[in-house]
Amino acid sequence: MFRSVIIGQYYPVESPVHALDPRTKILITFAFIVVLFVANNPAMYAVLAGFTLCSVALSKVPPRLIIRGLRPILFILVFTLTLHLFMTQGEELFRIGPLVASKEGVVQGVYIAVRLILLLFTTSLLTLTTSPISLTDGLESLMKPFSRVGVPAHELAMMMTIALRFIPTLMEEAERVMKAQMARGADFESGHILQRAKSLVPLLVPLFVSAFRRADDLAMAMEARCYRGGENRTRMKQLHAGQRDVVAGAATLLVVSLVVFMRWGVR
Amino acid sequence: MTTIISCQDIYHRYDAGGAGEVDALDGVDLEIDESEFVAIIGPNGSGKSTLAKHMNALLLPHQGRVLVAGRDTKDPDLLWEIRRTAGMVFQNPDNQIVATVVEEDVAFGPENLGLCPEEIKRRVVESLSAVEMTDYLKHAPHQLSGGQKQRVAIAGVLAMQPQVLVLDEPTAMLDPSGRREVLETVKRLNKQKGITVVLITHFMDEAVEADRVIVMDAGKIVVAGPPREVFSQVEVLRNVGLDVPQPTEVAHRLKAMGFDVPPDVLTVDELVAAVCR
Amino acid sequence: MPVIVESLSYVYNKNSPFEVKALDDVSLEIGDNEAIGLIGPTGSGKSTLVQHLNGLIRPQTGRVIVDGTDLSQKKVDMKKVRRRVGLVFQYPEYQLFEETVLQDVAFGPKNLGYSQEEAEQRAKDALLAVGLSSSVHMRSPFDLSGGQMRRVAIAGVLAMGPAILVLDEPTAGLDPRGRDDLLRHLSSLRAEKQMTVVLVSHSMEDVAKVAERVLVMQRGRIAKDGPTREVFQASEELEAMGLGVPAVTRLMKRLGEKGKPVSQNAITVEEAAEQIARVLRAGEGEQHV
């Protein structure tokens, strides 16, 4: 049976953003999110929004995919907006029963909403332009200096890689077990919530048992290939930060400095 | 011929319980020469898998010793060199592949050895070419068939440039075409590159390809010798719970019926020749 | 009452770039008390066909009728179908999950609506039928050997009392003794309960031992459907498809080519030896004249 699983949201296409070193992208995203919470007037938001839109354009990712990323938080957006609208004290705009909508409320609500939207756009952009493996490699590289203070950078990266490797395999196995149990009359679909939770036992137990066995086998195979942890281990793939990364980093630094200056620079 | 693996009167006690189930070894002596192709056969529980795991120090004997290229497996300082020398491929094709892309998985071994990136890249290309999987460099493991996965596993071991390739029932979970792929790859590596091969199997059509066949039962070696010699001992094999190739069995029955048929035929062709004499 | 498959076709991932036609206009009938071998190269559609028989996959085009129930209808009593057609997947031991062997084997009957006692009795009977003694009943299924686990899994399906038992590579991964044991149990089960057994297998020798009728699949179609001996006669055709025939069948064919009057019907070692003996004796007889 043909099986093609696309993990995560990665959208493979050639673009300047895709070509960046994953570490650069992770750091930019991080910096952007931090500065997002510094902004507190329309001008600053405009600068940040402009930066985001430029990045999206450069990434050659279809905008609809990025907008689709908003779907999960749509409810939160509306909820937050409504909350701020009615909970903030200020000049009354209109009222619904006992609830008073204020002008300040509108402003606050919109600010928060814009913040959430830009936050989501940026993180979506990160996962759309960086494959899970690249992300893992980038994170490992960034964490490595901290391994001296006890952060298990290599182990975490190894765990992520193995998890990613086995997702399609485990999905296939889950399907197989499900079919085997259905052939024995198991019903995963009908019944109320508690019944359905209980009916998952014949699916979950075999998967767990099998996962432990896999782990055992895999550990043995890794040892047989001389794996002994991250010490003295080299990597075939090397991350190379190049000119592009310097440019992207500089651009980000500019934007961040600008917003910080706008916030605290003019007194 | 130099001995590359030497098992000297080794014992391994039975370790009861679920997933850690391991069969006993009850006094096994075995010498394997460089570039030999040895097949080890036996029913489940005979200890063949246990024996295989002694060859790369995954298990240590409770008595006796195992030498791999002269190195004692009990010496913890020599452990990694031994595992580099004797690479092992296991039964489950999926549970050996650690990376998300073939290229990276084959690189895993050399990475563990601390080699430089250029050398690793070179070895990856070389190993994949040796198992004829070069086209699959950038593939994800779940896109491969069982036979292809096992070949990638073999490449992953080859990338460490071992002298011995130990394969523990590598074809047990494969379909016939996958089994053919793996066996042909292993034979080619043995003949063309001189890599010593130790093949644990319960498929007789694989064992007949070996230079020497070792038959195990209940932790002991029962019979050993060239395939022809071993498989003609049909009664012994039957008692141990093993098959013989069908032509051999037919020849055996004919002999029992009083016909002058040589008992050591292994293939259809040989039996046809014998009958048409 | 038989299983009837009429012009069944099935396409995976329809209308996507990954479209694959797994079944192409398949028609066949399975009757009571048959022993059928289903062979074919990987990807020929065996697995897809077999999953239609117990309703795990619903027909896209064509019909599958089990015991008078048309599986292409909207509302089908699946439990009734799965009671009738038991399906044992490859490496079935991977489906075990209960705390004791008895409870696991009773899972199937309980799903069908039997009471706890009835389900346990069925479980006990099924375990006996696969050659497992009562000493395993209260043990954890994960404590058993691989071969025992496999038999527990098969008992789990048997306990549901199917009229047709389909097994996908039941001997995969077993050593020769385990394989022979299992095949023997299957044969006696069939005789006792008058069940139809469908054996999906890559091993021609296994099929030759157990099956009276062989279905050969290739590229989603049924390429051959006939008595075992007849199908194995066409050894070149089968080999061209990438399938083998039992070594003895090839042997007899070669001897026939060399002018020896052996019957081409032999598919087991015993038959082959008898045939060759007969010919050799005749030859000797001539010489003594």
Listed by start position, the domains of chain C span: 246-289
Does residue A245 share a domain with residue A120? yes
Compute the nearest-CA separation of B45 from chain C (Å): 10
Residue range A125-169, pLDDT digits in tens: 998 899 888 899 999 999 988 888 888 889 999 999 999 899 999
When mean pLDDT is compared across A9-23, A99-113, C132-146, the lowest value belongs to: A99-113
Q: Which SS3 state, helix, strand or coil, does residue C8 take?
A: strand
Are residues A120 and A92 part of one domain? Answer: yes
Question: What is the gyration radius of the CA atoms in chain B, in angstroms?
Answer: 20
Evaluate the CA torsion angle A158, A159, A160, A165 in order and state its sign.
Answer: positive
**pLDDT tier, C52 (very low <50, low <70, confident <90, very high otherwise):** very high
The answer, for B245 touching chain C at a CB cutoff of 8 Å, is: yes
pLDDT at C49 over 80: yes
Name the region of B224 (left: φ>0; alpha: ψ -120 to 50; beta: rest): beta
Rounded distance between C-alpha atoms, residue A33 and residue A39, angstroms: 10
CB A120 within 8 A of CB A156: no
Domains of chain B: 3-244 (3.40.50.300)
Torsional class of B43: left (φ above 0), alpha (ψ -120 to 50), beta (otherwise): beta
Please list, in sequence order, all residues whose beta carbon lies within 8 angstroms of the beta carbon of residue B45, skipping any fewer than 6 positions away. Answer: B23, B218, C145
Chain C nearest-CA distance from B129, in A, is 25
- Band of residue C259 on the pLDDT scale cut at 50, 70, 90: confident
Kindly give the residue spans of alpha helices, DSSP state H, lying in chain B.
48-54, 79-85, 102-112, 117-130, 146-158, 176-193, 204-207, 227-231, 234-240, 246-256, 268-275
Are residues A69 and A193 located together in one domain of the fold? no
Q: What is the mean pLDDT of residues C244-271?
A: 85
Backbone phi, psi, residue A215, to 5°: -60, -45
Angle at C251 between CA C248 and CA C256, to 5 degrees: 130
DSSP letter (8 states) at residue A71: G
Q: Are A234 and A226 in contact (CB under 8 A)?
A: no
SS3 for C21? strand
Across the interface, of C12, C97, C108, the residue whose CB is closest to A205 is C97
pLDDT of residue C166: 96
pLDDT tens, position by position, C14-46: 888 778 899 999 999 999 999 999 999 988 999
Instruction: Domain of residue A102: give its range.
Output: 16-130+240-265
Instruction: Spell out which residues of chain C touch residue A201, defining contact as CB-CB under 8 Å.
Output: 97
Cβ atoms of B169 and B202 closer than 8 Å? yes
Whether residue A21 is found in the same domain as residue A103? yes
pLDDT in tens, C53-80: 999 999 999 999 998 889 988 888 888 8
Minimum CA–CA partner of C54 in chain A = A183
- Please give, rounded to a whole number of angstroms, the shortest distance from the CA of C258 to a CA of chain B: 8
Are C95 and A182 inside 8 Å of each other by CB? Answer: no
Q: What's C54-113 look like in SS3?
A: CCCCCCCEEEEEECCEECCCCCCCHHHHHHHEEEECCCHHHHCCCCCHHHHHHHHHHHHC
Whether residue A245 sits in one domain with residue A123: yes
Of C175, C202, C250, the CB nearest to B176: C202
Which residues of chain B register pLDDT less than 70? 15-22
* Residue of C247, C260, C277 with shortest CB distance to B276: C260
Do residue C178 and residue B44 have CB atoms under 8 angstroms apart?
yes
> Would you say residue A83 has pLDDT above 90?
no
Query: What pLDDT does B16 receive?
Result: 57
Cβ-Cβ contacts under 8 Å, B45 against chain C = 145
pLDDT confidence tier of residue A96, bands split at 50, 70 and 90? confident
Structure tokens, A115:
């913040």
- If asked whether residues A86 and A41 sit together in one domain, one would say yes
Query: Looking at chain C, which residue has its C-alpha nearest residue A174?
Result: C95
Question: What is d(CA B241, CA B229) in angstroms, rounded to the nearest whole number?
Answer: 18
* Same domain as A122, residue A250: yes
Best CA proximity match to C171, nearest among C143, C145, C203: C203
- The SS3 of residue A186 is coil
The residue of chain A with its CA nearest to that of B90 is A221
CB contact under 8 A, A238 and B117: yes
Which tens digit of pLDDT belongs to each residue from A20-60? 999 999 999 999 999 988 888 888 888 999 999 999 999 99
Separation in Å, CA of C280 to nearest CA in chain B: 8
Identify the pLDDT of residue A39: 83
- Please, are residues C56 and A175 in contact by the beta-carbon 8 Å criterion? no
N-term to C-term CA, chain A = 67
Residue A6 has pLDDT above 60, yes or no: no
pLDDT digits over C117-151, tens only?
Answer: 999 999 999 999 999 999 999 999 999 988 899 99
Query: What are the φ/ψ torsions at residue A186 (nearest 5 degrees)?
Result: -70, 145
Give A 160-199 residues with CB within 8 A of chain C.
173, 176-177, 179-187
Residue from C197, C199, C187 nearest C40 by CA: C199
| Residue contacts between A and C (CB atoms, under 8 Å) | 64
A167 within 8 A of A246, measured Cβ to Cβ: no
Backbone dihedral region of B204: left (phi > 0), alpha (psi from -120 to 50 degrees) or beta?
Answer: alpha
If one compares C207 and C284, the residue with the highest pLDDT of the two is C207
Do C159 and C108 meet the contact criterion of CB atoms below 8 Å apart? Answer: yes
A267 pLDDT higher than 70: no
Structure confidence at residue C13 (pLDDT): 84
B83-137 per-position pLDDT tens digit: 999 999 999 999 999 999 999 999 999 999 999 999 999 999 999 999 999 999 9
- CB nearest to A185's CB, from C12, C95, C112: C112
Encoding tokens for residue B172? 């047990």
Q: Is residue A148 part of a domain?
A: no
Provide the domain count of chain A: 2
C135 to chain B, any CB pair closer than 8 A? The answer is no
Backbone φ and ψ of C197, nearest 5°: -115, 125
CB contact under 8 A, B268 and C250: yes
Instruction: Please tell me whether residues A52 and A78 are part of one structural domain.
Output: yes
Q: Which residue has the higher pLDDT, A71 or C149?
A: C149
Selecting from C177, C242, C248 the residue whose C-beta is nearest the C-beta of B246 gives C248
Residue C3: what pLDDT?
93
B154 to chain A, any CB pair closer than 8 A? The answer is no
Q: For residues B44 and C146, is the Cβ–Cβ distance under 8 A?
A: yes
pLDDT tens for each residue of A216-266: 999 999 999 999 988 889 999 888 888 999 999 999 999 999 888 888 876
| Chain A interface includes C201 (CB < 8 A) | no
Of C34, C33, C88, nearest to C56 (Cα)? C88
Q: Find the largest Cα–Cα distance for chain A.
A: 75
Tally of CB atoms within 10 A around B271: 27
Whether A205 maps to a domain, the answer reads yes
Q: How far is CA B275 from the centre of its chain?
A: 34
C223-239 confidence digits (pLDDT tens): 999 999 899 888 888 88
Among C135, C145, C100, C147, smallest CA distance to C119 is for C100
Closest to C172 (Cα-Cα) out of C195, C197, C154, C190: C154
Question: CB neighbours (10 Å) of residue C191?
Answer: 11
Residue A92 inside a domain? The answer is yes
CA–CA distance from C116 to each of A79, A118, C111, C113 (Å)? 50, 58, 10, 9
d(CA C186, CA C131): 10
Find the closest chain C residue to A188 by CA distance: C111
* Spatial separation of the C-alpha atoms in residues B139 and A109, rounded to whole Å: 48
Chain B interface includes C43 (CB < 8 A):
no
Q: How far is CA C245 from the centre of its chain?
A: 17
Looking at the fold, whether A122 and A95 belong to one and the same domain comes out as: yes
Q: Span C173-178, mean pLDDT?
A: 88
pLDDT of residue A182: 94
What is the pLDDT at residue C289? 39
Q: How confident is the model at residue A3 (pLDDT cuts 50, 70, 90)?
A: very low
Q: How many angstroms separate the CA atoms of C268 and C183, rounded?
A: 15
Place of tokens 């990364």: A245
The DSSP element (H or E) to which A77 belongs, if any, is: helix A74-87
**Which residues have a Cβ under 8 Å from the Cβ of A110 and sit 6 or more positions away?**
A81
Chain C nearest CA to B266, separation (Å):
11
Q: Residue B256 CB: number of other CB atoms within 10 A? A: 12
Residue A119 Rama label (left phi>0; alpha psi -120 to 50; beta) = alpha
* DSSP secondary structure, B160-219, as one string: T--SEEEEESTTTTS-HHHHHHHHHHHHHHHHHH--EEEEE-S-HHHHTTSSEEEEEETT
Work out the burial of residue B267: count CB atoms within 10 Å of its CB; fewer than 13 is exposed, 13-18 middle, 19 or more buried: middle
Contact A212 B19 (CB under 8 A): yes
Do A126 and A256 have their domain in common? yes
Residue C288 exposed, middle or buried by CB count within 10 Å (0-12, 13-18, 19+): exposed
C-alpha span between B226 and B211 (Å, rounded): 6
Buried b (16+ CB within 10 A) or exposed e, A193-219: eeeeeebeebbebbbebbeebbeebbe
Q: Does A1 touch chain B (CB under 8 A)?
A: no
> Quick one: A58 exposed, middle or buried, by C-beta within 10 A (0-12, 13-18, 19+)?
middle
pLDDT at A2 over 50: no
- CA-CA-CA-CA dihedral for C32, C216, C269, C250, to nearest 10: 160
Q: Are C272 and C253 in contact (CB under 8 A)?
A: no
Q: Which two tokens stand for residue B264?
A: 């050591």
B277: number of Cβ within 10 Å: 8
Query: Is A207 in contact with A173 (CB distance < 8 Å)?
Result: yes
Do A51 and A118 share a structural domain? yes
Q: Which helix (H) or strand (E) holds A58?
A: helix A42-59
The pTM for the full model equals 0.89
What's the angle, vertex CA C180, arms to CA C29 and CA C195, rounded to 5? 30
Same structural domain for residues A43 and A106?
yes
**Surface-to-core class of residue C236, CB atoms within 10 Å of its CB (0-12 exposed, 13-18 middle, 19+ buried):** exposed
In three-state secondary structure terms, A87 is helix
